[in-house]
Structure 1
Amino acid sequence: MAMKRNGKSPVSSDTDEKFMFFKDVSLGPHETQLRFRLIHFWEARNPVKKTIIGLEMLLIDEQGTVIQGFIPPGRIKKYLPDLKQGSVYRLNNFYGSKNKPMYRVADHIATVSFTWNSELSVLHEIPTCFDEDRFRFHSYEDFEANCDIKGDLYDVVGHMKLVNGHTLIERPTPDEVKIDTTRHIMVHVQSHDGPVMKLYLWDQAAADFCKKFNSYDNTPTLLLVTAVNTKRLGGTLALTSMSPSRIISTGSAQTRRLLIKQVSADVVTKPWYYIGCSGCHAKATKGATSLVCTNTKCEKINTAGVPQYRAKISVYDNSDQAVFVLLGDAGRVLTGRHASELVSSYFEANGSEGADHLVPVPEALISTIGQTHKFCVKVTQHNFSGDTRAITVTKILSLDTPSPTEASVGNDIAAMSEGATQSGDAVCEPHKGGGVTADEESKRACSSADPETAKRPRCEN
């Protein structure tokens, strides 16, 4: 078989057809065959003149490699009638042009560009299996690093918190007629490893979101959007849809599976509870024959282990976001159930699991997503330094509880300070006695377990 001038040799299939895999596509002309599934295609327009630059495509081959495709404006009419999302094609002859550095949707260095002698045909009898899609999920840190540089467009999957400012507790109904006028819809979404982000869906993406969201009988809570751009709006990281963006689904089983794949490792490494001493609630560790309380001031020698809350939650108001840690009574007030009760219920329903098995995040905690509460927190210098950077909740109050003024909080703290002990629910410096408390595993915590004896914390809405 003769080598092509680009130095690449086509491979042969079982039927002796000559074709090339995407991983072998290099820059320059190629007189060979490609086989691929068309994931998506969209018009690329000049942002100023609004004229069509060409037709862009996202393609995937049988090895699962994704590459971007491009049809110049003068050749769109020739190929557009045959293009259908999800169909499998054969392409003979193309040019490997350099992948653009701005707003990239694929990692490949090359773009498959249609040329004057390109021949496209539909494969009706598909000889092998082609994946239907391939996603590029990244962490919140990657979104931050990519912010405002107009580089890669990443995909995002997560839980919806607000839709145009409305919570999902009382299902919102996006108005398609209104969105036709405003041209956008704003969704607050949270992926598994980051804070809540504002996601602005524009034009076709907004219309597709409304159509899918309103089509479900039950309120969808999950969202998967592809090719979003990261921008800083008003000093806050935000995501915006672009021309290649797709609303894959809002709450479908596919989205749930993708989200579960992302959060499963996080659930294992960041448990929502710990085993505490039945007396002082400090962390209990395994001894030779029994559990041992790590608090040196605790009088219990052989303690009974009791599951206690230690769950990190992402909270936000109208302008900012923070990470709170729920401990003890605060977790019970939020969920309405003790941590020990939830752990016991899980093992009763899953009797085959061993005692060391980590209980996954319960529905009682998951169902609190989207709720509004008034939190009392204890803020110390440690909250803004070190690795934890989380604020511990000491109380959860009803929304109609009036917020204390700064003067009243100061008076209350002064009155209670004498003889008061630090709360086990407050993030503070380690206890000098050496006891390891509920949040010591997160590097800092206090040693007492009674939140009512602590200095009164300041309240946050």
Structure 2
Amino acid sequence: MKSAVKSQLTTGKAPLAMYFNDISPGLSESQLRFRVIHFWEAKNIANGTLIGIELLLIDEHGTVMQGFISSSRAPTYLPHLKAGAIYTLQNFLAATSKEIYRVADQNLNTFILERLSHRGLRGDLYDVVGHLRLVNGQSLIDRPVLDEAEVISTRRILVHLQSKDGPVMKLYLWDQTAKDFYKKFTSSEDTPTVLLVTTVNPKVIAGNQTCNLALSSMASSRVFIDKDIQPTIDYFSWLGSNPEIAKRVNADEVTRSETMTIGQIYAYIKQENAKEASFDCIATIDDVKRDSAWYYIGCSGCQTKATRGPSSLMCAKCGKTNVSGVAKYLAKISVYEKNDQAVFVLFGDAGSELTGKHPAELVNNYFEANQDLGAGHQMPVPQALIDTIGQTHKFRVNVSKLNLTGKIQAITVTKIVSPEVLPPVPLISYMLSGRPFYFSLS
């Protein structure tokens, strides 16, 4: 893109400052200011030739973007690169990232051409303030209960913190910082809602498919709540004056599954700028819908619902006229959380994760025991599903286009979140684990 302001070299004027969300494809002489989260060498996997330096960057708005320095410029900039340091950049090229090489949610890649300057700001760390959403996975609707022995043994507390009109961030409090937070939180007469932590460090956490940004306390970090100091007092006052704004989730920042209540999910759906997203939701099952089929017969290849032809099953998506049918979960369950109610649809493997039973096994056993039933008979809801009534789970749910357009109210469950997949794995372990990393080029 062409900048509205000429470069500082030709006009003597300061360059136009931009944020990552303002960048468009093309050349720009505008100025970017960002922190380098992590950087690494990208090499040709066939012959080991250096292609360039890949960077993971974050700007002042919390937007994460991928950067690249070509091999010809690498000797100039590599000695000055430091993870966590803040830099300014003038003169860059933005181009669309290929999906297989992308390590950030932004679909653009910034190619550094020249004038990368180290800002030299203090300690490459910063302070963060916001309102608490979760404390060790517990909502603030009921006061979270913290186990002192657990805090001591794990040496950490995980909080989800949301800034003003910003994203929900994972903030890990370690060692003495965790103990300080525990003391303040448990000794407070009212449930604390505002938290300020000094000198936090951005970290990249690798999940099963994506790399996410989290914040981590340092040995020098200090914690303040509600009315401890003036910044928390100011934020506490703002929070009290804007209760509805404080509950909103910024649709532009929904890039990964965050834990939300049923009410918050439906409030998100009603937002004008809402988009498709996944959330985690803790809810209790109070009924299984019996007025509709709990399973469907899907194509064994693509899982699309198969249709019955003259003599065989057909798949409209695959275009095949003779496909093998496999029973798949499509069960509707009624769930509640506090005073909020919703209908969730168990889709695919989520049903098996909940019941411990594969639908094909349940269907086959039923019809083997009832061989006199006709081919068009639909099996009633099995006991395995009914037995889940009263159970509380963390559901991974998907807000789809059909939800956003109001065509359907039921929300699809894609996974029953299990404790084994909740703890994050540090990026460095992910890189050394032998698994292929997405930025490898050939």
- Judging by fraction of residues, say which structure has more strand: 2
The structure that has the greater radius of gyration is: 1
TM-score by length of 1: 0.32
TM-score by length of 2: 0.33
Name the structure, 1 or 2, with higher relative contact order (CA <8 Å, separation 6+). Answer: 2
